[in-house]
A and B are shown apart, each in its own frame.
Chain A
Amino acid sequence: MKEELLYLWIGMIEGISSGVLNRMIDYFGNVENLWKADEERLRAVVKEKYAAAIIKSRNPDKIEKYSYKLKERNISYIYPGHVYYPESLSHIPDPPRILYIRGNMSLLEERKNRKVAVVGARKASAYGMETAYQFSHAMAEKGITIVSGLASGIDSTAHKAALDAEGRTIGVLGCGINICYPRENKNLYDKICDEGLMISEYGLDVSPDAYRFPLRNRIISGLSKAVLVVEAREKSGSLITADQALEQGRDIYVIPGRISDVNSSGCNNLLKQGATCVTAPEDIIYDVISKDDFMDSGYAIFHDNRSSTKKNLAPDEKMVYSCVRLEQKHIDDICAELDMKVSDVVKLLFSLETKKLIRQVVRNYYVRC
């Protein structure tokens, strides 16, 4: 059988974790030997159920068919040793034996690893989403690839920001490569497949089970040079990513939060344990891209195009703008603070919104952009 089909076979074996598989391949020398190994020898060295699983999966027809199916859907796959298999992944403990891929494979080329994982809470605050967006946007603009997990909240905001900046982004799924989970991110999923890259350790139609997500997280951090945690609760999946990142020797950056915010307690704990505190995108960008490269990329240090818009505001617009903060604020509070009528404030808020200075996060709550 062809070499790549052998690797696909490895990916198709059910019931054996990638850790055990890795050890088996090491024992037999390479994948081909494992394929050819006779039953008796197999049963002698591994547990009965593993041996049975391997024997059962040795079905060339099925593998061919599967490979054809993948091709039909424009899904390719890479494995350790493949030209595109990321160097950074092969050095983590328990590297994935196979990665299914949709989209622009060149994103995996890594002359210099410039990927940053952005992770955080699903139920994020407006402030958290805003920060995730700003940081991801700025990083993507500077040519950094944003890696995340396509979950709702911080993850999808990070992807969106990267796409908005026309930058590069990689989504890592915890379910089959052809499954969009959560479903409401369908648009984002399609867009990442078109303009970015979608990766999964799991093949067609694998359901999004809870235990797969922590496993997925090791790929997110493994791909990246650094991990940025935006908002995380005390017991958060993002902390698992951070733990694995530490194990893999990645840098961890954390955005601090108020001590009273539930959503920031995990972040603040990470900071206590010695993670790097960041307050502006530059803090990460300088570390990930060396300074010379940064200057080469032709960007002046952060330009804020909002300041000119701010200067040209009408007096009453200015008044309303000064009332809106980075934390969400209810329109009734704004009215009360300014002592103005609702119908007037609504109009001013609207024009500030069209100037992209403020944003309505949930109904009637406003924040600065």
Chain B
Amino acid sequence: MYSKIISGGVIGVEGILIQVEADINDGLPVFNMVGYLSSCVREAGERVRTALKNSDFHLPPKRITINLSPAAIRKDGTAFDLPIAIGILTSMGVITQEKLNHTLVVGELSLDGHVNAVSGILPIIQCALKQGIKRCIVPKENGEEAALIEEMEVIPVDSLRSVVDYMSDMIAIEPCYVDVKALIHSSNVSEYGDFSEVMGHETLKRGIEIAAAGLHNVLMTGAAGAGKSMIARRIPTILPELTFEECLEVTKLYSIAGLLKPDKPIIGSRPFRAPHHTISAHALAGGGKTPKPGEISLAHNGVLFLDELPEFSRNALEVMRQPLEDREVTISRLNGIYRFPADFMLVAARNPCPCGNYPDINKCTCTINQIKRYNARISKPLLDRIDINVDVRKVAYDELFLNGKGMDSKEMKEHVLTAQNMQKRRYENETIRFNSQLDTRLCNKYIKLSKNEKDFMRYVFESQELSARGSYRILRIARTIADIEESDRVCESHLKEAVFFRNADGEVL
């Protein structure tokens, strides 16, 4: 007898529906699986057979054929175990086919018939909803994650037997429900700390504030132990809260990467990713035979912190150039082109020299050439994509323990929100969202300088030997500073501060 179950998989970041067909026919007893399967799907056969046996269902000694369609798409992952088992049971007549129409089934089986969690539930459910499916059967651990899509009836199951009982109306299972707002709120309680704990770095904090306001990328230069990581970790606290759509976008990526924790089904706060400097280009950008999101995608809508920037391999750094420009990463494979979103704020940190003490000449033991060589490891094209450069120096005792005031996250966040609201209004009809994305054309369109400011820019251009790119960088930063002050015009004072904070072309320090 023939049966058809709807299941789903993930390609890139998008879900796709997969039909699992099962057929039991007379013939020699074999168990055949077809449909462009990866080896972990092929292994499903063994799991399904054993799980059925251990759930007291006995496979008939007949010819069993399973097909996963569309057959041209490569299937990966363990989510097909449960639909295959259900398909066989339906073909055996244990469950009736009508019960399973418009129902999506996903789940991994263990040998004793238990249903285990799978990754990538959220995009599958989103896709199913779009295709008009109203009910889904998912592993219990994935229940809350699936229930983020409110219109879907989510049936959480923990064993093969309970699925059969539910389908034959012997038991009722309460559909899963989550209070999305409460969930977001609870995960939004900041785990990152507060900027008021960063003492004596007022210049740096101002630089970070400007960067966050216009989503400019930042480079921090400073000795080890001066507080670079501490500062970077606090940047998410001054960024505006994620909207629900952004939350789903981020959660989807974490779901695909299998990084969602069962007790935290949604990522409600801005991600902060700090990969180690030995990371490979593929781990950073995403990769694999069927590509999985890399660190830059996991930092989507959040902060990507690269500590010890010159220590990263050249390959790994260069691979970020395209995503920094396009805000998404494109990976081409034999069976398709995958796009992962990668709209993050890059925060990089480096030591000023190999020993870390420059410019304190009494302590620094490096030669001038060593310092130059060390900093030349970061390529110019990458530095070009970083607007703001701040330095982090070791603070004195007084600043650490005596001077209690300084900007806290709340104050900084207010400035950031003000500036981002200004940008939202201004760029309503544009494809860009932030000042850091202003290109030459848009710079000229949105930043109008009066005579006075033009004279000032000419002076800076000539005295500091700016390049064209350097002067547009100053304009972009100045626009953000003006936004913080809710000023529609960019004034000379904004330009002056922008000159100070800019990442100068080809400058070692």
Instruction: Please report A residues at the B interface, Cβ cutoff 8 Å.
Output: 122-126, 152-153, 182, 184, 260-263, 328, 330-332, 335-336, 341-343, 346-347, 349-351, 354, 361-365
Instruction: Please report B residues at the A interface, Cβ cutoff 8 Å.
Output: 200-206, 221, 358-359, 361-362, 364, 367-369, 372, 389-391, 393, 395, 399, 403, 459, 463, 481, 493, 496-497, 499-501, 507, 509
Among candidates B206, B221, B403, B509, residue contacting A342 with C-beta atoms closer than 8 Å = B206
In the complex, what distance in Å separates the CA atom of A260 from the CA atom of B360? 13
Also in contact, A262 and B500, with CB within 8 A (given A152-B368, A332-B200, A342-B202):
no
> Which residue in chain A gives the minimum CB-CB distance to B352?
A362
Contact A354 B459 (CB under 8 A): yes
Among candidates A152, A184, A328, A343, residue contacting B359 with C-beta atoms closer than 8 Å = A328
Q: Please, which residues of chain B bring their CB within 8 A of the CB of A328?
A: 359
Contact B493 A347 (CB under 8 A): yes
Q: Please, which residues of chain B bring their CB within 8 A of the CB of A126?
A: 359
Question: Shortest beta-carbon distance, B398 to chain A, in Å?
Answer: 8
Also in contact, A363 and B361, with CB within 8 A (given A122-B368, A346-B500):
no
In the complex, what distance in Å separates the CA atom of A336 from the CA atom of B364? 26
> Which residue in chain A gives the minimum CB-CB distance to B396?
A333
7 A-B pairs with CB atoms under 8 Å apart are A153-B368, A262-B362, A332-B393, A347-B496, A349-B500, A350-B499, A364-B203
Question: Shortest beta-carbon distance, B405 to chain A, in Å?
Answer: 10
Also in contact, A261 and B202, with CB within 8 A (given A123-B367, A350-B500):
no
Contact A123 B362 (CB under 8 A): no
Contact B403 A336 (CB under 8 A): yes
Contact B497 A346 (CB under 8 A): yes
Question: Shortest beta-carbon distance, A335 to chain B, in Å?
Answer: 6
Q: Please, which residues of chain A bring their CB within 8 A of the CB of B403?
A: 336
Contact A330 B496 (CB under 8 A): no
Among candidates B200, B361, B391, residue contacting A364 with C-beta atoms closer than 8 Å = B391
> Which residue in chain B gives the minimum CB-CB distance to A333?
B396
Contact B509 A343 (CB under 8 A): no
Contact B359 A263 (CB under 8 A): no
Contact A125 B202 (CB under 8 A): no
Beyond known contacts A335-B202, A347-B497, A362-B358: 15 more, CB 8 A cutoff:
A125-B361, A126-B359, A262-B362, A332-B393, A336-B202, A336-B403, A342-B202, A342-B205, A343-B206, A346-B203, A346-B500, A354-B459, A361-B359, A363-B509, A364-B393
Q: Please, which residues of chain B bring their CB within 8 A of the CB of A350?
A: 496, 499-500
Question: Shortest beta-carbon distance, A240 to chain B, in Å?
Answer: 17
In the complex, what distance in Å separates the CA atom of A83 from the CA atom of B362? 47
Question: Shortest beta-carbon distance, A266 to chain B, in Å?
Answer: 13
Contact A260 B362 (CB under 8 A): yes
> Which residue in chain A gives the minimum CB-CB distance to B205?
A342
Contact B509 A263 (CB under 8 A): no
> Which residue in chain B gives the minimum CB-CB distance to A125?
B361
Question: Shortest beta-carbon distance, A35 to chain B, in Å?
Answer: 42
In the complex, what distance in Å separates the CA atom of A126 from the CA atom of B362? 12
Contact A336 B509 (CB under 8 A): no
In the complex, what distance in Å separates the CA atom of A354 from the CA atom of B221? 25
